Amino acid sequence: MDTYSTRSFWLFGLLFSVSAAVLMSSVRLTTGSPIGVPNLQECQLATDTSVVGPLTTIQLNCCLPIPSGSVVEFSFDKYKSDTKRIRMPAQNVSADYIAKYRRAYELMRSLPQDDPRSLATQANIHCSFCNGAYKQAGNDSVLLQVHFSWVFLPWHRWYLYFHERILASLLGDPTFSLVFWNWDDQRDGGNVMPAMYLPNDSSLYDAKRNQANLPPTLVKLVPTITGNDSEIINQNLNAMYQDVVTNDNAELFMGGAYVTGTDLSNSTVLSAPLGGSIENGIHNAMHFWTGDPTQPLIQDMGTFTTASRDPIFYAHHSNVDRLWDKWRYGLPGGPRADHSEDDFLNTEFYFYDENASLVKVNVRDALDSSKLGYSYPDVAADELWINYSPSPVTSGSAVQAALASGVPVVGPYPQNGTISLGSGLTAIVAAPGNQSKSSDEREVLVIQRLTVTRDIFVAVLVFVNLPSAHSSTVTSSAEYVGTYNIIAAPGKTLTANVKMEIGDNLQRIGIQNETEVVLTLAVKGTQPITIDGLLIHYE
Ligand code: C2O
């Protein structure tokens, strides 16, 4: 398809989406049918950027090769392996392992581009399913998108599963396993870019990384973090605590429903909560931290089109995958529950296996990593963020003072009209106070219909009871609720009901019985953002 007709398609798609949104704005999309595999024959340019300057240099054709053989239906039997894979932390592997790991990517890079096992095609798998190369099965007017919803964790688990099998088979070593980039570890050496990715003569190297973030620079799990090492560490620990510990149900942590017809690629589905805290918070923050800020879209890691051209991507996602297991089984209070709806479990994806065959998999088979034949060792430093106990820097409610200084009251949609955030917004918001809640409910903040055009990376930080907060306020205290990081994709608009658990913050500050609280949304980045309402309720 040439550029002109791709544009027409987009224009049509946009008009369609807008009218569909009008039709559906009051309908909650709770049932539907699970996402099926796309028709790979129908591929278009993955994204249609506004043609401004350097953005045109991005390679946008991510269309995937179509193997001639028939599609393999995944079964545990067919993909059984006799050896157990153990994915080790990247900072702790031996010189022997590193040599092998380098060799594996050398082999992967040297395959012809159109070989399904080549690094180029592996990267295009991500590009095509994140930037709209394929339509949803059963709904030609909506593009497939594997981020911003409950498919985020299982899709990336499968992606790594086959990627790892391909590396192992290229090496001829069935025991070969990926590593994980242990960026959440704030004590034992995980929170820097692992050394093995740095030599520029290595297959693990990628030139498009943030040169200011080479070791010993510490990772920043919120993009606005500054300070000395111990301040950075505490803010990283609080980011982990907020995103992984307190967001303890499936929707808050993993993301919300994504079924046939849900348009997340150029989202106008207003009932969609979109991604969960692990995706929107720490995961996106690490993409942003790793990518090269001198590139227009912070390539490679900072935008989905190019992220998985960098071998470090797979180690980053291996940690995200490990944290899913940790969240599910390894936190105080007992096992947590994944989504269990059939629309979730029956979602299907395509990947390529080590024989370059196309394989059809589903979400149900992804939920137990041990059945997939790999595991992660226990990480002692997890304890630091699990037990991180953020102290408040405020005491007592900030509402009276805020009222006196003219801070506006913002209610739920639709009573406010559209509010532009500018560089930030402080508002008084109603809260449930001491209304009773059932044990399976959470106290949740909903930023309603947050809308942003994704031309550049932007982040919205949320604080409670701290009206002076702005985009460089320290995020290690109990007043920090979370961050919604938005990865750039030029020309694409996102409208989301962003959700964050806030009850734990209110408890720690001691304002859990108040019927109003002061919220501050602080914006990093210059892209205009609007919201249509703020709601704190039990759900
Ligand atoms: Cu598919 Cu980390 O993004």
pLDDT band per the 50, 70, 90 thresholds, residue 46: low
Range in 253-262, 500-509, 512-521 the model is least confident about: 253-262
- Whether 318 maps to a domain, the answer reads yes
Decide if 126 is catalytic: yes
For residues 443 and 311, membership in a common domain is answered with: no
- Whether 392 maps to a domain, the answer reads no
For residues 288 and 428, membership in a common domain is answered with: no
* Helix, strand, or coil (residue 461): strand
For residues 464 and 498, membership in a common domain is answered with: yes
Which of 330, 358, 386 marks a domain boundary? 386
Residues with Cβ within 8 Å of 30's Cβ and at least 6 positions away in sequence, in order, are: 257
Whether pLDDT at 531 is above 70: yes
- Whether 259 maps to a domain, the answer reads yes
- For 52, phi then psi, to 5°, come to -110, 120
> Ligand 1 centre from 434 Cα, in Å?
39
Residues with Cβ within 8 Å of 453's Cβ and at least 6 positions away in sequence, in order, are: 491, 492, 493, 527, 528
Tell how far CA 84 is from the center of its chain: 28
- Whether 171 maps to a domain, the answer reads yes
**DSSP E strand boundaries for 65-147:** 72-73, 85-86, 88-89, 135-136, 139-143
Whether pLDDT at 266 is above 70: no
The parent domain of residue 297 ranges over 3-386
> Ligand 1 centre from 160 Cα, in Å?
11
Range in 10-14, 162-166, 532-536 the model is least confident about: 10-14
For residues 126 and 185, membership in a common domain is answered with: yes
> For residue 268, what pLDDT is reported?
45
- Whether 299 maps to a domain, the answer reads yes
For residues 51 and 119, membership in a common domain is answered with: yes
What's the mean pLDDT in 61-68? 91
Whether pLDDT at 386 is above 70: yes
> For residue 269, what pLDDT is reported?
43
Ligand 1 touching residue 157 (CB < 6 A): no
Decide if 147 is catalytic: yes
For residues 265 and 167, membership in a common domain is answered with: yes
Cβ proximity of 121 and 113 under 8 Å: yes
What is the atom index within ligand 1 of the atom nearest the CA of 146?
1
For residues 302 and 371, membership in a common domain is answered with: yes
> For residue 50, what pLDDT is reported?
36
Tokens of 402: 């805020």
For residues 404 and 334, membership in a common domain is answered with: no
Whether pLDDT at 136 is above 50: yes
* Helix, strand, or coil (residue 428): strand
Which of 357, 386, 415 marks a domain boundary? 386
What pTM was estimated for this model as a whole? 0.92
Ligand 1 touching residue 322 (CB < 6 A): no
What is the atom index within ligand 1 of the atom nearest the CA of 283?
2
Tokens of 306: 């190019």
- For the chain, the average pLDDT equals 90
Whether pLDDT at 13 is above 70: no
For residues 181 and 35, membership in a common domain is answered with: yes
d(CA 190, CA 219) in angstroms, rounded, equals 9
Q: Omega of the bond prior to 528 within 30 degrees of 0, cis?
A: no
Tokens of 331: 């936190």
For residue 228, what is the domain's CATH number?
A: 1.10.1280.10
Residue written as tokens 């620079």? 217
For residues 408 and 316, membership in a common domain is answered with: no
- Whether 394 maps to a domain, the answer reads no
- Whether 323 maps to a domain, the answer reads yes
> Ligand 1 centre from 148 Cα, in Å?
10
For residue 409, what is the domain's CATH number?
A: 2.60.120
Q: How far is CA 201 from CA 62, 107, 207, 338, 481, in A?
A: 27, 14, 11, 42, 42
Q: Write down how long the chain is.
A: 539
Quote the number of domains for the chain: 2
* Helix, strand, or coil (residue 485): strand
What's the mean pLDDT in 33-57? 68
Ligand 1 touching residue 315 (CB < 6 A): no
**Residues 321-340: pLDDT tens digits?**
999 999 999 999 999 999 99
**Residues 195-237: pLDDT tens digits?**
999 999 999 999 999 999 999 999 999 999 999 999 999 999 9
For residues 173 and 32, membership in a common domain is answered with: yes
User: When comparing pLDDT for 519 and 274, which is higher?
Assistant: 519
- Whether 393 maps to a domain, the answer reads no
Whether pLDDT at 434 is above 80: yes
Query: What amino acid is encoded at 172 in this protein?
Result: G
Which of 333, 360, 386 marks a domain boundary? 386
d(CA 378, CA 44) in angstroms, rounded, equals 43
User: When comparing pLDDT for 60 and 128, which is higher?
Assistant: 128
What's the mean pLDDT in 261-273? 58
For residues 422 and 371, membership in a common domain is answered with: no
By the 10 Å C-beta count (0-12 exposed, 13-18 middle, 19+ buried), 211 is classed as exposed
d(CA 261, CA 349) in angstroms, rounded, equals 16
Query: What sign has the CA pseudo-torsion 369, 370, 372, 378?
Result: positive
**Residues 309-323: pLDDT tens digits?**
999 999 999 999 999
**Residues 453-486: pLDDT tens digits?**
888 999 999 999 999 999 999 999 999 999 999 9
Whether pLDDT at 402 is above 90: yes
Cβ proximity of 190 and 89 under 8 Å: yes
d(CA 134, CA 187) in angstroms, rounded, equals 43
